[in-house]
Structure 1
């Protein structure tokens, strides 16, 4: 009797195990896509900063091992580089939604200031991290559609020659970048209106100066 009962128990265990194994083999495995991993890395950056993006932190947030992460990104550097590119594309699309507005430049300036104020970790990634590299600032900036569009609107709005446009645009950008950096890192008490007005007045002064130089034949 004991052996019969034991045999029945073993039989049922083997029978149940067979179906468990079949379900495991036949059930489709959930594939974690590259886009999903980048969304997770982007979210980690927003909450904790870019330095918190690692294969382990992304895998933990995705609820998987690190193997799917490294199946999409060969190295940690590749993951971090792709995260930076993902963030740039995400924000460029956001900015370009306003590209046809007459106040496109002002909208973009306020967007940068708002990012610095409300999303300092993402501002740091875009503007202060090692990912933002290049020997020539103008060439790096013009590599992004939103900046190229702004430069075109800027030149047409103020009727500037190409070199004057480049000079004033860069100086205006550096002023905006400096104010935004102070907001992001030191919590300066500039309102968006105050900062935007400061950049606007400075740019208009530079444009007026360019006009005077042109009228006087290039003399300062």
Structure 2
């Protein structure tokens, strides 16, 4: 009689997510995930073709978390400002996951930047005041805005600076106004996904 599975795919995904959230992708190994679940590595390889397959599933789960729980929170009524504010809030509340996604050289940083641009673009074209902008204008606004948001997120995540929410909102609003009013577009290329 075949043994019944005691460890499910969802349990493996949860453990893998926890490894990334607590230690980053540098610790994303079958052994560390198995240790998190207090089992051998065998159930992992029975459920997933390889570690890249598992990593893709974990990244999908993280994207779902970000798009449903983090980046959609409404605070100011301006969805672009809210996006920046939520990004900074994520960086300060989920420091290790933020670093794993946006700062580590694990092959995900450029994908996260690209995904963040697409989220930003969607938010921009869904708002009437930005709907008539060209893609290059939206990209230019994103670059200027993202530089400010990432600087604040990184400094706050590292504990170097602290800002109250009102000051973050004001800085993001001022940055957005400046980059929208700028007559020239910035042509910086987003890093290509590996």
Alignment TM-score, normalising by the size of structure 1: 0.67
Query: 2:110 and 2:25 mapped to 1: Cα distance?
Result: 19
Q: Which of 198, 202, 208 does residue 181 from structure 2 map onto? A: 208
Structure-1 residue corresponding to 2:133: 161
Could you say if the C-alpha distance between residues 27 and 134 of structure 1 is closer, same or farther in structure 2, counting changes exceeding 3 Å? closer
Structure 1 outlier segments of 4+, above 6 Å: none
Unaligned runs of 5+ in 2: 185-194
1:70 aligns to 2:55 (yes or no): no
Query: 1:157 and 1:89 mapped to 2: Cα distance?
Result: 28
Structure-2 residue corresponding to 1:192: 165
Richer in helix (by share): 1
Q: Secondary structure at the match of 1:125?
A: helix
Unaligned runs of 5+ in 1: 1-24, 214-220
1:105 aligns to 2:77 (yes or no): no
- Equivalent pairs counted in the alignment come to 180
Root mean square deviation, CA, Å? 3.0
Question: More relative contact order in 1 or in 2 (CA 8 Å, sep 6+)?
Answer: 2
Q: Note if contact 1:41-1:83 (Cα within 8 Å) is conserved in structure 2.
A: yes
Q: Note if contact 2:88-2:153 (Cα within 8 Å) is conserved in structure 1.
A: yes
Q: Note if contact 1:84-1:126 (Cα within 8 Å) is conserved in structure 2.
A: no
Query: 2:89 and 2:35 mapped to 1: Cα distance?
Result: 30
Query: 2:97 and 2:109 mapped to 1: Cα distance?
Result: 16
Query: 1:173 and 1:96 mapped to 2: Cα distance?
Result: 14
Q: CA deviation at 1:77?
A: 3.8
Q: CA deviation at 1:69?
A: 0.8
Could you say if the C-alpha distance between residues 72 and 147 of structure 1 is closer, same or farther in structure 2, counting changes exceeding 3 Å? farther
Q: CA deviation at 1:47?
A: 2.6
Q: Note if contact 2:71-2:83 (Cα within 8 Å) is conserved in structure 1.
A: no
Q: CA deviation at 1:112?
A: 1.0
Could you say if the C-alpha distance between residues 186 and 142 of structure 1 is closer, same or farther in structure 2, counting changes exceeding 3 Å? closer
Name the stretch that deviates more: 53-62 or 77-86: 77-86
